Amino acid sequence: MKKLLLVFILFSFFRSGHAQSDSAVIRSLFNAALTNHESYEQLRYLCKNIGGRICGSPEAAAAVEWAAQTLNAFGADTVWKQEMMVRNWKRGEAEYAFANSRVMGKAELTVCALGGSVGTGKQGVMAEVLMVKSMDELRKMPPSKVKGKIVFFNRAADPTNIYTFASYGGAADQRVNGAIEAARMGGIAALVRSVTLQNHDYAHTGVMRYDTAVTAVPALAISPADAGMLEEWLQIDPLLKVFLRNNSVELPEVPSHNVIAEIRGSRSPDTVIVIGAHLDAWDNGEGAHDDGVGVVQVMEVLRLFKSLNIKLNFTLRVVEFMDEEVAQRGAAKYAEYAANSGEFHLAAIETDRGGFSPRGFSFDAGEKVSAALEKWKPLLDDYGLHLFYRGGSGVDIAPLKKLGVPLLALVPDSQRYFDYQHAPTDRFEAVSQREMQLGAASIAAMVFLIDKYGW
């Protein structure tokens, strides 16, 4: 009997010895991420060999092929593509703009067309400028004051917010709807202060929209430095004129793809945990922080589980979404698939806020999720993950909400993101390997906990 007991104790000891504690598994995920360079080298390839890759471009098509190959190389059980049609906007040749004042002289302005903008025609447009700081200010003006002018939307992103996405949210309306509001009042173009907290001389692009009820007028972003200069000049010489030229065109839609890869779950493969980011990126930079980092982080999560041979109960699915920047067709396509797949989506996690030190996760889900996160907090605290709050997730996974899927987003430090987003500054060199890998390991840790405990 004593012998039997001893065997039992020894057996139990070895069993527990083999089944690692949660904290040991999380530690191993971070160690493996922080000592490996493959994902960072893949980011380098995506940025330097493919570069800016707005939907519909040859670069976006190349990114699709690269993503499929890389996910195969990282050990995915299966990789497949999901086809959808995407818009096909082309910037055209480099934009050109200057201010011309009888008092101040002539100065070139750093501008870029907003995504989706019509062109000015080769001859460009030249007109007096009406500066406004809000949509309301514009709407209250007599149309005679706006007619024939370039409307200059010059409200700066609010620097007093600590979380910079709030500042972005508070200024992006000018970029998205500026052309509609300008045209409605008789303006001939919209010139929009770049949405950033920087004061540098780079123009930030981003999507804008038209309304079929009003004329489509050209919409360009101006660098914050030149927006400041133009404001000063206008105070001295309200009659100065600005010249704008861009040759953007919208070509017929073309097919493109989401790239999907997975590790099949060992216990219940029809239950799925999605981790997603977006493949497309604006054409004026390299799409490093937005969202090359996210793209390779979700690849890295897959690589980590594969290389550490950690068996997951449920299917881990990487979705590299196409067309986040313009019309979110990839997001719609995946949500349509999810609704009809017969699978159960346990969670979806998005990473699209830059490759900066991770601080935690936001979640858009019910009480059970909130309670689970609260319970897991002590396991994540050592890795700088302190922030867990109810909030938005990301536009690529947002359509899964109507299926009742709990949504989460990796939340990195936000201070520098808008220095780069949608600008020529968004280059590989701006990404720290270490911070990026901490983010990947954070997502992996979250996947591990969700897979083990559910909600």
Which residues make up the interface to Zn ion (CB under 5 A)? 290-291, 352
By beta-carbon proximity to Zn ion, the closer residue of 351 and 437 is 351
H-type helices in 185-242, by residue range? Answer: 224-236
Q: Is-contact 410 391, C-beta < 8 A?
A: no
Task: Please state, in angstroms and rounded to a whole number, the distance separating the CA atoms of residues 123 and 126.
Answer: 9
For residue 287, the minimal CB distance to Zn ion (Å) is 8
By beta-carbon proximity to Zn ion, the closer residue of 181 and 290 is 290
Strand-pair partners of 125: 244
For residue 136, the minimal CB distance to Zn ion (Å) is 29
For residue 294, the minimal CB distance to Zn ion (Å) is 7
Task: Please state, in angstroms and rounded to a whole number, the distance separating the CA atoms of residues 43 and 294.
Answer: 10
Residue whose tokens read 């449920």: 314
By beta-carbon proximity to Zn ion, the closer residue of 47 and 227 is 47
Helix (H) or strand (E) holding 16: helix 2-18
For residue 336, the minimal CB distance to Zn ion (Å) is 21
CA distances to 1, 82, 145, 147 from 275, in Å: 51, 16, 50, 48
By beta-carbon proximity to Zn ion, the closer residue of 352 and 419 is 352
For residue 320, the minimal CB distance to Zn ion (Å) is 12
By beta-carbon proximity to Zn ion, the closer residue of 59 and 291 is 291
Neighbours of 28 (CB within 10 A): 17
CA geometry: angle 341, 313, 9, nearest 5 deg: 165
Neighbours of 2 (CB within 10 A): 6
By beta-carbon proximity to Zn ion, the closer residue of 291 and 323 is 291
DSSP secondary structure letters along 239-285: T-EEEEE---EEEEEEEEEEEEEEE--SSEEEEEEEEEEE--B-TTS
By beta-carbon proximity to Zn ion, the closer residue of 186 and 287 is 287
For residue 256, the minimal CB distance to Zn ion (Å) is 16
* Buried residues in 67-104 as b, exposed as e (16+ CB within 10 A): bbebbeebebeebeebebbbbbbbbeeebebbbebeee
- Residue closest to 321 by CA, chosen among 306, 303, 337: 337
For residue 131, the minimal CB distance to Zn ion (Å) is 29
By beta-carbon proximity to Zn ion, the closer residue of 291 and 419 is 291
Task: Please state, in angstroms and rounded to a whole number, the distance separating the CA atoms of residues 97 and 111.
Answer: 7
For residue 354, the minimal CB distance to Zn ion (Å) is 9
Neighbours of 275 (CB within 10 A): 27
For residue 289, the minimal CB distance to Zn ion (Å) is 8
Q: Is the dihedral of CA 159, 162, 166, 168 positive or negative?
A: positive
For residue 187, the minimal CB distance to Zn ion (Å) is 29
Give the β-pairing of 249-263 and 219-222.
unpaired
By beta-carbon proximity to Zn ion, the closer residue of 291 and 320 is 291
By beta-carbon proximity to Zn ion, the closer residue of 219 and 295 is 295
